[in-house]
Amino acid sequence: MNQTGNNTVCSSEIDASCRVPLLALFGGAALWLVLGILLGLAAAMSFHKPDLFANCACLSFGHAQAAANDLVLYGFIIPAALGVILWIFARLSQAPLALPIVPVAAANIWHLGVLVGTVSILLGHSTGHTWLEYPRIAAVLLFAAFMLVAVSAVATMGFRSNREMYPSHWFLFAGLLWFVWTYSSANLFLLSGQPPRGVVQAIIAWWFSNNMIFVWLALVGVGIAFYLLPKFANKPLANTGYAIFGFLTLIFFGTWCGIPHGAPVPAWLPTTSAFAAMLTILPIIALAIVAGKTVCGSGFSLCAGPFCFVKFGTMSFVVSALLYVAEFCPHGARVLDFTWFSVGVTQWQLFGFAGMILTGAIYEILPRMMDKALPLPLLAKLNFVTFVLGTTIYVIPLLIGGYEQGLKLQDPSVAFADASGAALMFLRASTLGQALLLLGSLCLLLNVFVMTLQWKRGLLSCALSAVKAPLSGGEVKP
Amino acid sequence: MKTGFSVFLACFVALGASWYGFVYGPLKQLGVEQQTVILQSTDNWPQQRTGEATLGLQVYRQYGCAACHTEQVRQTGAANELDVLTLGTHNAEDFKGFMKSLLVVPELMTSSNDIVANLDKWNGQLPLVLYYGQNADAVSALAEKLKPVGVKTDARVVAVGPDIARGWGTRQSVAADYLYDQPVQLGSLRAGPDLTTIGVREPDVNWQLLHLYAPNCVVPNSTMPPFHNLFEVRKKVNGQVSPDALPLPKGFALGDDMEVVPTTEARQLVAYLLTLKNNAPLYEAPFTPVTAAK
Amino acid sequence: MSDENKSCCNTPAGEPTATRSAAPMWIIVVTLALLFTGGLYLDNHGGWFNSKVYAPYKSVDQLEAFQPKSGAAAVAAQGKKVYEAVCGICHGVDGAGKPGQAPPLAGSEWVITKGDSRLAHIPLQGLSGAITVEGKQWNLNMAAMGAALSDSDLAAVLTYMRTSWGNKAGEVSVDDVKKARDAIGGHAQPMSGDQMSKMPE
């Protein structure tokens, strides 16, 4: 309850305390999302017109795709998620954000790190490890920034008056710890002066990639969804028994997936991953049950508001996570390894699940935080439509094309050119989806920037009248 | 009801366990590997690359080649094979009868159906694949029985799988193959073919350079982007073609007085690609290499 | 900042709450069932965490079965098999011999000879009477245990003896065995130690 008594803090105060840090985080995130999708489009051009970037190697597929993926994950998803986590912790603690200057500094450091990393990749200084392509400097900046935000978040959580933790607390707190440990560990091993020899590098990269793209995204996405869904549906979160079970099994089993089936490593590694993958179906089902029971009855109206974003995102979580887990089943892996299928599943997790939930959360938080309505509400609705259509048109052809490619690769009598040619048509179709995503992300960027500009203009006029007032001898009129 | 500490503890244990299993464990088990020995030989594996090829691996990393190409061959099984090379004093027909009479011994009973099927569909040409399957004892029993009658046989172990059948390798890739790769560029997508044995499949330097400059001229309809950054287009010196200029075919040539010369980076990259051979049998990935025809 | 809300956005009804409930039993049971099935799968395909077992091989034994058997490795495998079936019964699996039954082969000067031709005569003809082996006197009878073996088996087992248990000598080839058989001709008579020492190695 807000405003229950004189000594409780009202929500608008809590929201206001988050203003500057979250604008810093969300503003940068929205910009990086647009840039990331643009680079992704440049990479996709390779399959429409291969010699488009013949003289400009920095935009060829190898550079552009790596930079695009990292921009979406490190540039958009993580800072946006951190901002939402800070707000949720503040709200759940019924206390304003602790140490608000710290996340502001952290946001700037983070965005600097992303900039340095992206430029390095485009100039050819990528480290060569998937999802860890940023060089040492950028990695250090990102880690330091994350630690700073985590400190503020944990402090905020510590100040909660109601000592009982809400389920979102578990997931989001776990998410903070997860990134700190996996990112530092992977970078320390792989980017050190004496990295481990040979295939161990790939194993560590797979461990990181699974714990980041699957487990971390799930923890953060589900944590945010478990906060927003009951709020929107005006019902309590259903079946926390399933939620506890889902949380524990996700962290205990989900973390062991990751090693692909055909990998050049001793048999015990992919076998353990396949075992874990089979068990990971359980938390996905459990969390789906919680989400489903919480929103059931609210229907799927074309409201196109934040509620719809989060609902679509949660449904995407269930399907994309099940597909991810299916990739580790040996029979599936034989066909689907090394095809566009896994690219499709990853993009579904990034855009369809995390992207949707975070965008919905941003649209929910911004008006509350700035004490103002969204400046461009039609664009926000357009954002929803383009994101839904865009994700579908981007991901589904990749999944189908990948499966076709995989089937043909299994048959040695089919020439390789025919096998990869089978996927080409689907690849080209999926570029339309990326264009729609770009349009949607521009809507988000415009909303965030216009809101920030309006706020800054308000601050400026406030300051100006404060200066003028003593001169004119009148009252300060904001 | 959970306290912050209990959540922290649960995460610590869960992530700690997977860290131990997938980071620390492999580090101890595989990270200390040294060179291994090629089967039935005293040579070490893998061989260290030359300086140029090592720099070439860095060029491979810089250009993000691993985004489209994999460097790992998979295997779905292995088979024991017995080939008959000469028939001794028999001709094809009575060899069939002779073989069938040998199949009554106990160690060949389980495989006799397969062997009979192979004999029945044999067209009389040598070498004959007499047995192809999982039973190693059947192979040695057959070899023993045929030796005294002057029939020359060759017992082989072959790797089985779509990648192998496609000619992308003679065995699967194992950890020992990547011992000297820094960083390891395994790749995760086959938008282009696998490169584990590209040094064996396309050993010609000029083919590799042409493929980097203009992939379409050596692979029609290729979706690989051309990498012009790796080459220098310049005027011919005194109208003479330099010895290291690319022999561009018609339709790709640039005009009478221009030539395309590879840069150092291109040469390093090609030197690296030509070291990708992976054709040595190891204990963990055994197969019988095909020896040259006698 | 002014606290007068531009209430375009709905005031929140309050922070979300969670209904308490226990984890249902069916999901716990399914988890246990999957743990069991997965454990079986790990047992079958995990290669017991051995660093040399790569999928599709499931165990070291299976990997061993697929090692190519030609060349020296094949001969050694064949020789070991024959030895353990025929000679090891008396001479011991470790080649140490058994007092009153058979002299040792490990370190025996009759086995580790420079030449390749004499050794084959022992199993082809048999031994009878006194013989000194490694400084000890033996006075037993050995039947022609190798007469029934094929040339390749006999050559393999003799090579095995000469390269095992610390013995380091050259291989005995199939030709050496053939020559010995031809030299013996039809009726093989057991030799004595004296006769043996007079033969060229």
pLDDT tens readout for residues C26-82: 999 999 999 999 999 999 998 888 888 998 999 888 888 888 776 555 677 678 878
Q: Token pair for residue A45?
A: 């051009």
Backbone conformation region of residue A219, classed left if phi is above 0, alpha if psi is from -120 to 50, else beta: alpha
Domain membership of residue A23 (yes or no) is yes
Q: Residues C87, C157: contact at Cβ < 8 Å?
A: yes
If you count DSSP H runs as helices and E runs as strands, how many of each does chain B have, helices first? 12, 7
Assign B240 to helix, strand or coil.
strand
The residue of C19, C20, C52 whose CB has the most chain B CBs within 10 angstroms, and thus the best one to mutate to test that interface, is: C52
In whole angstroms, give the CA distance from residue A198 to residue B228.
31
**pLDDT number for residue C179:** 86
Report CA torsion sign: C45, C46, C52, C55.
positive
- Reduced to 3 states (helix: H, G, I; strand: E, B; else coil), residue B82 is strand
Say what angle helices A356-370 and A377-410 make with each other, to 10 degrees.
Answer: 160
C79 interaction partners in chain B (CB closer than 8 Å): none
Which of A46, A164, A410 has its CB closest to that of B1? A164
A181 closest CB neighbour out of B15, B174, B176: B15
* Dist CA B7 CA B16 (whole Å): 14
Neighbours of A458 (CB within 10 A): 15
DSSP B246: -
Binary contact (A271, C41; C-beta < 8 A) = yes
Q: How far does the CA of residue A326 sit from the closest CA of chain C (Å)?
A: 15
Identify the closest residue of chain B to A157 by CA–CA distance: B4
pLDDT band at A68 (very low <50, low <70, confident <90, very high): very high
Separation in Å, CA of C30 to nearest CA in chain A: 8
Q: Where are the alpha helices (DSSP H) in chain C?
A: 25-45, 60-65, 72-82, 88-91, 121-125, 151-162, 174-184, 193-198
Of A81, A110, A119, A172, nearest to A365 (Cα)? A81
Q: Per the structure, how many domains does chain A have? A: 1
**A3, pLDDT greater than 50:** no
Domain membership of residue A329 (yes or no) is no
The answer to whether position A339 is within a domain reads no
Quote the minimal CA–CA distance from B163 to chain A in Å.
7
Q: Are B263 and B232 in contact (CB under 8 A)?
A: yes
Q: Tens digits of per-residue pLDDT, B143-157?
A: 888 877 878 888 888
How many residues are given for chain A?
478
Residues in C touching A274 (Cβ below 8 Å): 41
Query: Contact, A139 vs A185, CB < 8 A?
Result: no
Q: Are B137 and B80 in contact (CB under 8 A)?
A: no
pLDDT in tens, A215-237: 999 999 999 999 999 988 888 88
How confident is the model over B245-259, as a mean pLDDT? Answer: 83
How far does the CA of residue C52 sit from the closest CA of chain B (Å)? Answer: 5
Q: Is the pLDDT score of B53 beyond 90?
A: yes
Is residue B147 within 8 Å of B82, Cβ to Cβ?
no
Measure the CA–CA gap between C9 and A332, rounded to whole angstroms.
Answer: 48
CA distance linking residue B41 with residue A213, whole number of Å: 44
Range of the domain at A73: 10-164
Q: Tokens 């020439």 correspond to what residue?
A: A415
DSSP state of A162: S
Q: Quick one: pLDDT at residue C12?
A: 39
Q: B278: closest CA among B26, B30, B66, B75?
A: B75
Tokens at residue C64, please?
A: 């061993």
Residues of C with CB under 8 A from a CB of A: 1-3, 5-6, 8-9, 11-24, 27-28, 30-31, 34-35, 37-39, 41-42, 45-55, 57-58
ipTM of the complex: 0.91
Asked if B283 is an interface residue toward chain C (Cβ–Cβ < 8 A), one would say: yes
pLDDT tens digits for A8-53? 678 888 888 889 999 999 999 999 999 999 999 999 998 999 888 8
A461 at C interface, C-beta within 8 A: no
B272 touches chain A (CB under 8 A): no
Who wins on pLDDT, B168 or C195? B168
The four Cα atoms A323, A328, A330, A334 give a dihedral, to 10 degrees, of: 70
Check if the beta carbon of residue A398 is closer than 8 Å to that of residue A349.
no
Nearest-5° Cα angle at B287, B286 to B289: 135
Residues 6+ apart with CB under 8 A from A431: A41, A44, A45, A47, A48
Taking CA atoms, A150 is separated from A80, A83, A146, B19, B52, in Å, by 14, 11, 6, 21, 45
CA distance A93 to A17: 13
A301 residue type, one letter: S
CA distance B133 to B135: 6
Tell me how many residue pairs between chain A and chain B have CB atoms under 8 A apart: 219
CATH (one of 3.30.1390, 1.10.3470, 3.40.720, 3.40.50) for B77-160: 3.30.1390
pLDDT (0 to 100) of residue B74: 94
> Which of A65-74, B207-216, C103-112 is predicted least confidently?
C103-112
Q: What is the pLDDT of residue B41?
A: 67
Q: pLDDT above 90 covers what percent of chain A? A: 73
Q: What is the pLDDT of residue C71?
A: 58
| pLDDT greater than 60 at residue A478 | no
Tokens 């594996």 label which residue? B45
The answer to whether residue A343 is domain-embedded is no
pLDDT of amino acid C1? 33
> Taking Cα atoms as reference points, which of C37, C48, A258, A284 lies closest to residue B18?
A258
Instruction: Give C171-189 pLDDT, tens digit per residue.
Output: 788 888 888 888 888 777 8
From the candidates C10, C15, C30, C60, which should be mutated to test the interface with A, based on the most A CB atoms within 10 A? C15
For residue A245, which of A283, A215, A207, A277 has the smallest C-alpha distance?
A283
Residues of B in contact with C65 (CB under 8 A): 136
Task: Please state the separation of Cα B143 from the chain's center in Å.
Answer: 29
Is residue B92 within 8 A of residue A87, CB to CB? The reply is: no
Q: Do B286 and C51 touch (CB under 8 A)?
A: no
Secondary element (H or E) of residue A127: none
What pLDDT is stored for residue C70 in this prediction?
60
CA proximity to B217, closest of B254, B262, B248: B248
- Measured between its terminal Cα atoms, the distance across chain A in Å is 30
User: Rounded to 5 degrees, what are φ and ψ at A178?
Assistant: -60, -50
Report the residue of chain B nearest C59, measured CA to CA: B284
Hey, of A156, A259, A268, A475, which one would you mutate to test binding to chain C, going by the most C CBs within 10 A of its CB?
A: A268
How far is it, in rounded angstroms, from Cα A349 to Cα A345? 6
Q: Which of A:314-373 have CB within 8 Å of B?
A: 334, 337-340, 342-343
CA proximity to A10, closest of A95, A84, A98, A100: A95
Q: Tens digits of per-residue pLDDT, A109-140?
A: 999 999 999 999 999 999 999 999 999 999 99
C-alpha span between B216 and B225 (Å, rounded): 9
In a domain, A380, yes or no: no
Ramachandran class of C48: left when φ > 0, alpha when ψ lies in -120 to 50, beta otherwise: left
The answer to whether the beta carbons of residues B66 and B58 sit under 8 Å apart is: no
* A188: three-class secondary structure by DSSP: helix
Residue A425 lies in a domain: no
CB contact under 8 A, B30 and C51: yes
Q: A194 burial class (0-12, 13-18, 19+ CB within 10 angstroms)?
A: exposed
What number of other Cβ atoms are within 10 A of residue C52's Cβ?
18
Given C2, C17, C23, which is nearest A478 (Cβ)?
Answer: C2
Q: Is the peptide bond before B46 cis (omega within 30 degrees of 0)?
A: yes
A91 reaches C (C-beta below 8 A): yes
* pLDDT > 70 in chain A, percent: 95
pLDDT over 80 (residue A477): no
CB of B39 within 8 Å of a chain C CB? The answer is yes
pLDDT digits 0-9 by tens, A259-281: 999 899 999 999 999 999 999 99
Closest Cβ–Cβ partner in B140, B148, B157 for C66: B157
Residues within 8 A of B (CB atoms), A 235-274 only: 244, 248, 251-252, 255-256, 258-260, 262-266, 269, 272
Is B62 in Cβ contact with A124 (below 8 Å)? yes
Instruction: Report in angstroms the alpha-carbon separations of C74 from A448, B128, B290, C60.
Output: 74, 22, 17, 18
Task: Return the amino acid letter for A167.
Answer: P
Q: How far is C53 from chain B (nearest CA, A)?
A: 6
What's the order of all strands across the beta sheet hosting B128-133? B128-133, B77-84, B153-160
Interface with chain C: mutation pick from A240, A325, A334, A465, highest number of C CBs within 10 Å:
A240
B258 forms beta bridges with: B235
pLDDT tens-digit readout, A169-201 = 999 999 999 999 999 999 999 998 888 988 999
Q: What confidence tens digit (pLDDT) does each residue in B98-123 have? A: 888 888 777 777 888 888 888 888 88
What chain A residue is nearest to C37 in terms of C-alpha separation?
A275
Could you read off the pLDDT of B20-40 as tens digits, one per residue?
999 999 999 988 777 887 776
**Residues linked to residue C139 through DSSP beta bridges, in sequence order:** C130
Q: Which among C56, C67, C150 has the least Cβ separation from residue B286?
A: C67
Best mutation site among A39, A60, A157, A424 for testing chain B: the one with the most B CBs within 10 Å?
A: A60
Q: Render pLDDT for A288-301 as a digit per residue (tens, 0 to 9).
A: 999 998 888 766 56
Q: Does C16 touch chain B (CB under 8 A)?
A: no
Calculate the average pLDDT of chain A. Answer: 91
Note whether residue A113 is domain-resident: yes
C64 CA: distance to closest CA in chain A (Å): 16
**SS3 sequence, B164-185?**
HHCCCCCCCCCHHHHCCCCCCC
Report pTM. 0.84
pLDDT digits (tens, 9 = 90+) for A397-428: 999 999 999 999 999 999 999 998 889 999 99
Per-residue confidence band for B42, with pLDDT thresholds at 50, 70 and 90: low
pLDDT of the residue at A317? 96
Q: Does residue A396 sit within a domain? A: no
How far is Cα B284 from Cα B78, in angstroms, rounded to an integer? 12
More reliable by pLDDT, A343 or C106: A343
A165–B contact, CB cutoff 8 A:
yes
Domain boundaries, chain B: 77-160
Q: Which of B18, B177, B193 comes nearest A256 by C-beta?
A: B18
